[in-house]
Copies of this chain bind each other. A is one copy, B any other.
Amino acid sequence: MTAPTHQVDFEPIGKRVDVPAGVTLLEAARQAGIGLASVCGGEGTCGRCRVAVMAGQVSPPVDADRRFLSQLELNAGQRLACRAHVQSDVKLHVPKASLVTDQRLQVGGLTRQLAVEAAVRACAVEVPAPTLRDLRSDLDRVTEALDTAFGLRRVAAEPAIVRQLSPLARQTDWHLTAYVRGARGRDPELVGFAAPGRRAAGLAVDLGTTKIAGYLVDLESGEELAAAGLMNPQIGYGEDVISRLVHASRSPEGARELARVVHEALDNLAGTLAEQAGVAREQIAEACIVGNTAMHHLLLGLPTRQLAVAPFVASASAAVDVKARDLGLNLAPGAYVHVPPCVGGFVGADHVAMVLASDLDRADRVAVGVDIGTNTEIVLCKPGANYLTSASCASGPAFEGAHIRDGMRAATGAIEAVRITAGGVQLKTIGDAPAVGICGSGIVDALAELRRAGLMNERGRLDRGAPGVRPNEHGPEFVLAPASQTGTGREVVVTQGDVNEIQLAKGAIQTGIGILLEATETPPEAVDEVIIAGAFGSYLNLDSALDIGLLPRLPRARYSQVGNAAGVGAKAILLSLKERSRAQHIARRTGYIELTTFPGFQRRFAFSMLFPAPAVATPARD
């Protein structure tokens, strides 16, 4: 007789899963791929996994529930997900505070077919226990078994591995899973052990200036086991890369501090992902981290002084494998982090990963790739040239909601789309919740609409006399949502200052694309394809982006929004040694143009801050 299954319905997330009767709500959430907070690992001791049972039957409250929930809350159906067992079909309300991440990151991105051939494989070994007649060391008996069973000759192992082996072997009666790494024609190396049947997992990370996106994958099947995102905690040391580099180069302590905070964040991310996926940290046997050159240097603790001043030279740019523990990551005891190569200037491995994921190195037509972030990387590919040309612009964090009066990240309640018509302002918010602020795609939309409606001129000045525009001590501002309609009770506005921030950001990107085209003697209309990568780029209204001049005015069909291509590329480099070689190849054949020293840069930048005439004007004034 098999146990009956019940359906668990998670609201407002809108996910459902069928689970056997008796499993906990936390387990059901894991199976549904929902990142329910659970600091204690489901032990009932942290109280973080609160949910409300809106319909159906679960097991009665226990002591742990009473420790964290009032009688009122219990009466209202609130429970700890890790303590409540499913007894019928149930419908749950999951409060935001109980979710591991409350932030919309484009972690799906485009999907690619990939022949998985990871650097690490899981090998099942059974070895005889030591006796008086067989006094071989613990390690020798394992390496000899790997030789016999898998033809792995001279497998190396660090002391850290042996520390894990001796006690584990005696627990599992010498039945083991050995994680063996054999990348790049080197002698194979043991990176960890696990109990029999435990698969090897891999961690891929896109380490952005503002956001970090992480993925846990099965190193054999390539299956994605979990995904999560968080803010880069280095933001506390400066939003832009230059301030962070300067902080790091001022003193060894500064550099260590910036490395430490990102190491901690990555280690927490690994823990979160492992928990989501239901695997042990020790099963994470390999990682791959991509980021721009500044993030790369701060991650590895490399010298930054020379990177922060012209000619902006990296201290190291080649691909490197470092022990995970040297980056403060608690994974398999001998696990490596593969850090793919940087290109030059601030164009780093995230860009290489983006080119790889988008197949831009294999494009058979003229293609431009743009990865919009706090630092925006641009690449131009010309078929036949066997050469890619890249540049990096300091676009700043305005598109991520920073430096904008009511700016916010792309989370619930953020205005993500704006229409200004004769009838007034129409808004779309994330989650259709009352507006609490405006995110990057919303502000681009708002500016395009203000321009179309004639409320803002070519130079970005808001028209003080127009309806909806009112004076403020710092200049004119436009009210998007009155206080009565917001979730905060405060109105949401676009200020003249906001417009100026976006002008700087879009001007930087427009200048970068322009110089790249000029330097490669490519007329804009010769561009057959434009790939827009990055989380912000995926939610961007392309018409608005073209209208404000952020992107070149080409037919819409030539544009593709591909999501977090850098993250997808990181996964590919993690999962395939062939893609790892390809990344090296891409870095080698990608040229780099330093924009700020390009002739006419200043004049071009000033020009790029202008707003062109809109393709279609939609006057809001009668």
- A residues sitting closer than 8 Å to B (CB atoms) are 130-132, 135-140, 143, 156-159, 162-163, 165-167, 170, 186-187, 300-303, 305-306, 310-318, 320, 322, 326, 342, 344-345, 592, 594, 597
Nearest Cβ on chain B to A165's Cβ, whole angstroms = 7
The answer to whether residues A162 and B316 also contact, given A138-B306, A311-B135 and a CB cut-off of 8 A, is: yes
Q: Are A592 and B166 in contact (CB under 8 A)?
A: no
Name the one of B135, B163, B310, B314 contacting A137, with C-beta atoms under 8 angstroms. B314
The answer to whether residues A166 and B306 also contact, given A186-B187, A187-B186 and a CB cut-off of 8 A, is: yes
The answer to whether residues A135 and B305 also contact, given A157-B316, A186-B187, A316-B159 and a CB cut-off of 8 A, is: no
Nearest Cβ on chain B to A153's Cβ, whole angstroms = 13
Residues of B within 8 A of A170 (CB): 306
With contacts A158-B320, A167-B305 known, what are 12 further pairs, Cβ within 8 A?
A132-B594, A137-B318, A138-B306, A138-B316, A139-B317, A140-B316, A140-B317, A143-B318, A159-B322, A162-B300, A163-B315, A166-B305
- Of the candidates A136, A170, A187, A318, the one having the most CB atoms from chain B within 10 angstroms of its own CB is A318
A316 CA to B137 CA, complexed, in Å: 5
Residues of B within 8 A of A597 (CB): 132
The answer to whether residues A138 and B314 also contact, given A132-B597, A158-B322 and a CB cut-off of 8 A, is: yes
In the complex, what residue of chain B is closest to A345 when comparing beta carbons?
B135
Residues of B within 8 A of A143 (CB): 318
Contact sample, A vs B, 26 pairs, CB 8 Å cutoff? A130-B306, A130-B311, A132-B594, A135-B311, A135-B312, A135-B344, A136-B317, A137-B314, A137-B317, A137-B318, A137-B342, A138-B303, A138-B313, A139-B318, A140-B318, A156-B320, A157-B316, A157-B320, A158-B322, A159-B302, A159-B316, A162-B315, A166-B303, A166-B305, A166-B315, A170-B306
Residues of B within 8 A of A318 (CB): 137, 139-140, 143
Nearest Cβ on chain B to A344's Cβ, whole angstroms = 5
Nearest Cβ on chain B to A192's Cβ, whole angstroms = 15
A326 CA to B158 CA, complexed, in Å: 11
Residues of B within 8 A of A344 (CB): 135
Nearest Cβ on chain B to A355's Cβ, whole angstroms = 19
Nearest Cβ on chain B to A156's Cβ, whole angstroms = 8
In the complex, what residue of chain B is closest to A162 when comparing beta carbons?
B316
In the complex, what residue of chain B is closest to A165 when comparing beta carbons?
B315
- Of the candidates A136, A162, A300, A305, the one having the most CB atoms from chain B within 10 angstroms of its own CB is A162
A190 CA to B326 CA, complexed, in Å: 18
A292 CA to B167 CA, complexed, in Å: 22
Residues of B within 8 A of A163 (CB): 301-303, 315
In the complex, what residue of chain B is closest to A141 when comparing beta carbons?
B313
Q: Are B159 and A300 in contact (CB under 8 A)?
A: yes
Nearest Cβ on chain B to A502's Cβ, whole angstroms = 31
The answer to whether residues A132 and B311 also contact, given A137-B317, A138-B316, A159-B322 and a CB cut-off of 8 A, is: yes
A315 CA to B312 CA, complexed, in Å: 49
A140 CA to B587 CA, complexed, in Å: 13
Please name the 6 residue pairs, one residue from A and one from B, whose CB atoms are nearest each other, closest first.
A166-B303, A139-B316, A137-B314, A137-B317, A159-B300, A130-B313
A578 CA to B159 CA, complexed, in Å: 24
Residues of B within 8 A of A322 (CB): 158-159
Residues of B within 8 A of A315 (CB): 137-139, 162-163, 165-166
- Of the candidates A138, A143, A187, the one having the most CB atoms from chain B within 10 angstroms of its own CB is A138
Residues of B within 8 A of A302 (CB): 159, 162-163, 166
